[in-house]
Chain A
Amino acid sequence: MAAAHAEAHHGPPIANQSSRVSASVLGMLLFIASEIMLFGSFFTAYFFVRVVNGIDWPPHPFELPVFVAGVNTAILVTSSFTMHWALQSIKRGNRAGLQAGLLLTFLMGLVFLLTQAREYSRVGFAPHDGAFGTIFYCLTGLHGAHVFVGLSILLFMTIRAFRGHFSPEHHHGVEIGGIYWHFVDVMWIVVYSTVYLI
């Protein structure tokens, strides 16, 4: 199709593919590298407050809802598996599996985000309550923003899946979106263990 197209419009010559990795996957990986560094800058701030300044974690009257967040972690991790399932399904041509997988992933992500919001309103301290509150809200908030972006991407993928896009040959959209979602999950595990556990 592209070639015929080029004939008709005198379009561009087809670029040479000079690497094994596809442009969009590479692009997503580099973007994730950049995102990791953004988290890195927040973790640097965490390091200065918690290690260099050595404040109590959490400081006296406050407590972290470790258990609820743990359940939330489980939900998010599970959603990575459903995401994987969705991708495998479309690779095998199973559209229903794709749709169900994406929908489940989206719903679990949503539950995660809503639980997080609920936690914010009950946790008993605010971002301006000392450096501890600052770091807690900014790290979990930065991650929450990424969940939000991931959810938007999932939403678009789901809409497209229900409107008949994607096929065993063309499922780049699912693959790339999936990589991002896995990144969001892995990042949460890091945030959860540094902020809640240790």
Chain B
Amino acid sequence: MTTLTHEHEAHPGRQGPAPPPRGWRRLLYPGLLRAAWMAPLFFGIGCGIVVLCRWWGGWQPIWFGEIIVLVGALIAGPIGFLAGIGAFDYWVRYAIGSPTKPEDHSGHGAYSWRDYFRVNTDHKVIGIQYLTTTIFFFLAGGLLAMLVRAELAKPGMQFFDNQTYNGLFSVHASLMIFLFVIPAFAGLANFVVPLMLGAPDMAFPRLNALSYWLLPIAGIMMLSSFLVPGGAFAAGWTGYAPLSIHQPLGTIFFNMGVQWAGASSIMTALNFLVTIITMRAPGMTFWRMPLLVWANFTTSLLVVIATPFIAGSQFFVMFDRVMHTHFFDVAGGGYPLGYQHIFWFYSHPAVYIMMLPGFGIASEVISAMSRKPIFGYRLMALSLMAILVLGFSVWAHHMFVSGMAPWLRVPMMITTLMIAVPTGIKVFSWLATIWEGKLNFATPMLWAVGFVSMFVIGGLSGIYLGAVPIDIHVSDTYFVVAHIHYVLFGGSLFTIFAGIYYWFPKMTGRQYNEKLGKLHFWLTFVGFNLTFFPMHLIGTQGMPRRVSDYAPQFANWNLFISIASFALGASTIVFLYNMVTSMRRGAPAEANPWRSLTLEWQVSSPPPIFNFDEIPQVVGNPYEYGVPGARHAVLNGDRAATETEVRSR
């Protein structure tokens, strides 16, 4: 296998953005400086519009704080920020018909660390922007979890009052879901998918940049809700109406934060779909795509179809609150359970949005590190599609005790349990891939195999929850908390770590520290099980979820869990230390340290600015480990080989 090491790293001064102008003109140059004055300007304009409308419509009081916060701070200000940083520059010029600058790729690629802090159209830069941002929110969410556990270490109230406690776990979960798991997968895929497809970039690079910049807005919005009067939103990440309608101001920070994060994930998903459909390298048929690409294809379909429903649900809650509409208010003719139906019609698919990309990562890592083809490649891809389709027909399994129409329960139970079948297929196929392989237990493989084992436990507890009679008993207890953590922490987070370690050499051009990587895995693995496994037990025994205080009989277990969770939290320090030091001083990485076959490994580490000098020719399947003479793709310089091979097929 020819591995091309590219000698054209940065040509300083020849490419990259022109240096910003000096003096006051710098204020007009797209970037954080311009954002710093445009955001307040737009905030002012937003407030102005509100006040004008209220004055014109004769509503009193003209200065109505809640609407000003909503329109000024949560909508107009962020738009001003985006405009300031330059996310819209090209489109504005296009819209008013002025000659658009010929594309000189000045917004593409990173030549210095500054290029990560501006609107960049390079999918590799955006991928890294995504990952660092999401890791930041992961740390924030993790710290909140530590506070939750501190409060729960003993029965009775320790550090917080009830409302604050409810805010802590609500923001914890929202950050982890909307600003860590979902976008972290999008970030990994952003870096990897175009490379895997043999494409120079995503289909819509400017849209890609915009979808990244929506994320910090959403995250800061959710975090800053701690600062407003009344405290953070405290109705859980599920924000059930009617409770969420009558909560302090912080709730609209959740409502709007979800909109920004949701818009971001819809845009990225659309971009992935178009890239995967229209930009595959010649010879890359659907049945030759790596499973990570398949996984992101199905995930993106889920995102595009389902996410508008959570947007709708949060709009309704917000309207009920600020406009006094009656979506969920019985007295006015509304229907409270409607919220849950609409919310879960998104949020059940969302659990697959948080898991399918992880399946993709696991498949890549397990196949490459077992030196064997993925077992049952087609069935693996088909079961992704099956999960996609079934995923839309099971939302009401979150509502078995909600008081919805009782006849809905049995059909929903059947579809729910059916999903165990494609999921099982995936697990068994991974095991069969490992079987008789040449297993290399480098850090990514540890995480991937750890993921399979933890995900099995999460899947089995899912069966309990899917069986209605058992769910009636354990719904809304710590059993559910245990379940979501086995699938989201043991599932999504483990695969995210697998992906980060696996592609770290590709992304940074340096190798991470293997010893620390393994230490990180084992600390997390043990800490994780000690923290979350006992939660099953206290759940079935009778401890409800989302409580700051509990019956004394659960005191011992909770103390144990809290101590374990602090150890688990501490394991993250190892990860951070490893990442930071390896990024700066790690040994230079080879182009293909894992001897993988997929395309991203056939270019240098880090890849050249435009990925490929010439679009590669795909000639075979992506996982042909152990097949003599098999190759997945032919890169430039190998014309002759390409032609003979293409002809021989």
Contacts and interface: CB of A to CB of B under 8 A. Distances in A.
Interface in B87-125: 94-98, 102-105
Interface string B270-305: 110110011111101000000000000000000011
Interface string B128-164: 0000000000000000000000000000000000000
B97 A160 contact: yes
Contacts of A186: none
Interface in A1-34: 5, 9-19, 21-23, 26-27, 30-31, 33-34
Nearest to A44: B342
A170 interface: no
A35 interface: yes
B270 A27 contact: yes
Contact of B325 (A11, A40, A128): A128
A30 B304 contact: yes
A38 interface: yes
* Consensus secondary structure, chain A interface: helix
Nearest to A54: B333
A156 B98 CA distance: 11
Interface stretch (A77-85, A89-97, A130-138): A130-138
Nearest to B285: A18
B326 A21 contact: no
Interface stretch (B469-477, B530-538, B610-618, B620-628): B610-618
Interface stretch (B200-208, B453-461, B543-551): B200-208
Nearest to B281: A16
A124 interface: no
A61 to B, nearest CB: 15
A26 B612 contact: no
A28 B618 CA distance: 29
Interface string A47-84: 01100110100000000000000000000000000000
B282 to A, nearest CB: 5
A34 B103 CA distance: 30
B96 A159 contact: yes
Contacts of B430: none
Contacts of A45: 312, 316, 327, 338, 342
Given A130-B326, A134-B327, A163 B97 contact: yes
A190 B333 CA distance: 23
Contact of B615 (A11, A15, A38): A15
B327 to A, nearest CB: 6
Nearest to B307: A34
A5 B102 contact: yes
A131 B278 contact: no
Chain B, interface size: which category?
35 or more
B277 A21 contact: yes
B323 interface: yes
A13 B8 contact: no
Contacts of A16: 198-199, 279-282, 615
Given A18-B278, A18-B280, A27-B270, A48 B338 contact: yes
A194 interface: no
Contacts of A21: 277-278
A167 to B, nearest CB: 14
Interface in A157-180: 159-160, 162-163, 165
B332 A130 contact: yes
B324 A131 contact: no
Nearest to B612: A13
A159 B97 CA distance: 6
A37 interface: yes
A193 interface: no
B308 interface: yes
Interface string B316-348: 100100011111000011110110011001000
B326 A128 contact: yes
A22 B338 CA distance: 39
Interface of A: 5, 9-19, 21-23, 26-27, 30-31, 33-35, 37-38, 40-42, 44-45, 48-49, 52-53, 55, 127-128, 130-134, 137-138, 156, 159-160, 162-163, 165
Which 3 pairs of residues, A with B, have the shortest CB-CB distance? A41-B312, A131-B333, A38-B308
